[in-house]
Structure 1
């Protein structure tokens, strides 16, 4: 992982009732020429632009900087004429004949690792193809783009992509262009889909700008990513130290966990295989506390690996144990790879229940090093 993930800007045009398209086969034009020019400037100012496979299939966009002057300005600064073009797909269903692949400069596709061979066979030299593990992981996408030098990423849609990045807490800014009409169709696609959004009624976004662009209302919101503190990094480092105490195993990860009360005091810690060969780190730490310990309600769990979402050795996985404990905040070093569990969904389960989950990319390498023998 890299600690230089890109700044993420979501750009969307929607009707007054929140639709980004209608249910007809024709593309719905929500923006005006003046607003399309604004979007062209956003692309020119970005290092990469991203869309989902659904948008590629539905709209067949080229996703280019259309202004020759803006392309020339990019080249004068030493950049390619066009930003890197990024596509995300869960299924790997990508048509090599789409215009996206045959215009502009570099292209990269991100997909679950199982779909990578199929996509490479289908696209050939048209794009780099990168696997993100067992699932389409937006954090892994940003890590790889950061390694490629992308510092500003523009996400242009569609609703699945906006939802993916927003619910993961990986968005810095939204530019929402509101068109002055209604679509009025329940089945028409919307800006976002159902999900648990960190930007809820208790965590409001900041309205940074409102602007009229012809009859379009532009709303620019700043989205505060949940911050990691110096204390978070320090406690997670202690959890990594705890993971080094794990009895060796060739069939399970070595994980450390520390639970810290709201006042900043440690209340429990544990590590994998601490009390028996099957016990997990989070389980070991929670077992040292009474289930009704009032300190758990405001506590943070620091764990070196994503809490498990299913397991064969116990009836209750660690993600469910955390939910039952009342802990409202989890800080982890890295997501669980697909070595032992094909699709760990611990983070998703916690976030869907309203728990704040933060990742610490700069400590991921140290946490993985403890498990280097499993690579």
Structure 2
């Protein structure tokens, strides 16, 4: 199944609660962490919340920074990510901020829910989706309750496949707890970004982040911990099967994107079509590029991507370069090969899907050059066919 990379985002108290039972939303994150969340929003294609979150919190779900919105537009993306919600009943307030701020919206619901939503004039693309339990349910936010909360019958795979078909490659899920629980239990989550706030709720009636049920076995892999004012961010990923903990679901997501970027290259008889993405350790996309981008007949994918990043950006030292083809070790068109550009940028991890053949440069060994410079090179051979696809005309 083709699906977006699914990133779960939440903040909890020290005793594991998403909220208290008071009438107002309990603010768990710090101001600096709210800005981090804004940065993550700017990096995704869509943001999803449950209907209960819309009712309880009336969120806008915007990218607040003008600079980040401008960077999205400059990269050819919509100013705001797509906003997504789910509701079995389709009974949502058409005056809620969700519908009247930001860009496009999608509501996934039942056939009856779709009738209600369209009759109410909700400003969204309404999609009737199978798999809701009989009677419908609401996937809720922190204070959501009632008989419809927490249903488990939604066909999440169909929903994610539909989002992928809409061009969504990176999905941020902001709540509520029922949604996070279901995506983890169905092994559809690729990353969990969890913020721990220094306070206790202590009310057993308050909502917790995760509910009971069966979860995938084994421990998640801790990718990062970071202090942000008085809260702590913890990032977890499930490891890829058989990868020994060295390859994550994120690696598969970004390498697949690099292969997709290679399809955008103008065809050439004298050079490969390659895509590349540079990603910070916290999962933020720093830049992307592809061969012959911008009409430059000799620019390489890694070169195009790295040129878009400030050489002094401290995130480069812990970033990963994802390239559909092994970075070149030698080239005639520029003074520096891509492997050298990566070393000079300070990047110390590269993930690729295809070792460079001898088509244009005999004995090329970009991986060897990188490894000699202290770079961890990971080859995922299952992506070789995808990386080769836009280069079929060069096959001898």
Q: Which category describes the TM-score, using the shorter chain as reference length?
A: 0.5 to 0.7
TM-score normalized with structure 1 length: 0.57
1:171-212 deviation per Cα after TM superposition (whole angstroms, max 9, x unaligned)? 0000000001111110111112222111x4xx1100011110
Q: 1:370 matched to which residue of 2?
A: none
User: How many residue pairs are counted as aligned between the two chains?
Assistant: 221
Give the whole-Å Cα distance in 1 for the aligned partners of 2:77 and 2:158. 24
8 A contact 1:47–1:84 mirrored in 2: yes
Q: 2:48 matched to which residue of 1?
A: 50
Taking a change above 3 Å as real, the CA distance of residues 192 and 91 of structure 1, as seen in their structure-2 partners, is farther
Q: 2:215 matched to which residue of 1?
A: 197
Bigger shift: residues 217-226 or 9-18? 217-226
Q: 2:162 matched to which residue of 1?
A: 144
- Structure 2 residue 64 is the aligned partner of structure 1 residue 66: yes
Q: 1:211 matched to which residue of 2?
A: 226
8 A contact 1:171–1:225 mirrored in 2: no
Q: 1:185 matched to which residue of 2?
A: 203
1:135-162 deviation per Cα after TM superposition (whole angstroms, max 9, x unaligned)? 1211111000000000000000011111
8 A contact 2:107–2:124 mirrored in 1: yes
Q: Which of the numbers 129, 133, 143 marks the counterpart of 1:132?
A: 129
State the shift of 1:134 in Å: 3.5
Q: 1:12 matched to which residue of 2?
A: 10
Counterpart secondary structure, 1:149: coil
8 A contact 2:2–2:161 mirrored in 1: yes
State the shift of 1:225 in Å: 6.9
Q: How does 1:233-272 map to 2 (within 5 A)?
A: none
Q: 1:115 matched to which residue of 2?
A: 113
Q: Which of the numbers 85, 92, 95 marks the counterpart of 2:93?
A: 95
Q: 2:80 matched to which residue of 1?
A: 82
8 A contact 1:64–1:103 mirrored in 2: yes
8 A contact 1:89–1:110 mirrored in 2: yes
Q: How does 1:154-169 map to 2 (within 5 A)?
A: 154-169=172-187
1:117-145 deviation per Cα after TM superposition (whole angstroms, max 9, x unaligned)? 12222234x00011221412111110000
Supply the RMSD in Å over aligned alpha carbons: 1.4
Q: 2:266 matched to which residue of 1?
A: none
Unaligned runs of 5+ in 2: 133-153, 243-396
Give the whole-Å Cα distance in 2 for the aligned partners of 1:115 and 1:226. 39
Q: 1:265 matched to which residue of 2?
A: none
Give the whole-Å Cα distance in 2 for the aligned partners of 1:67 and 1:35. 14
Counterpart secondary structure, 1:121: helix
8 A contact 1:40–1:67 mirrored in 2: yes
Counterpart secondary structure, 1:55: helix
Counterpart secondary structure, 1:156: strand
8 A contact 1:159–1:192 mirrored in 2: yes
State the shift of 1:226 in Å: 6.7
Give the whole-Å Cα distance in 2 for the aligned partners of 1:56 and 1:139. 23
Counterpart secondary structure, 2:121: helix
8 A contact 1:114–1:134 mirrored in 2: no
Counterpart secondary structure, 1:184: coil
Give the whole-Å Cα distance in 2 for the aligned partners of 1:77 and 1:122. 35
Taking a change above 3 Å as real, the CA distance of residues 19 and 116 of structure 1, as seen in their structure-2 partners, is same
Counterpart secondary structure, 1:41: helix
Unaligned runs of 5+ in 1: 228-375
Taking a change above 3 Å as real, the CA distance of residues 52 and 107 of structure 1, as seen in their structure-2 partners, is same
Give the whole-Å Cα distance in 1 for the aligned partners of 2:228 and 2:163. 32
Counterpart secondary structure, 2:195: strand
Give the whole-Å Cα distance in 1 for the aligned partners of 2:200 and 2:66. 34
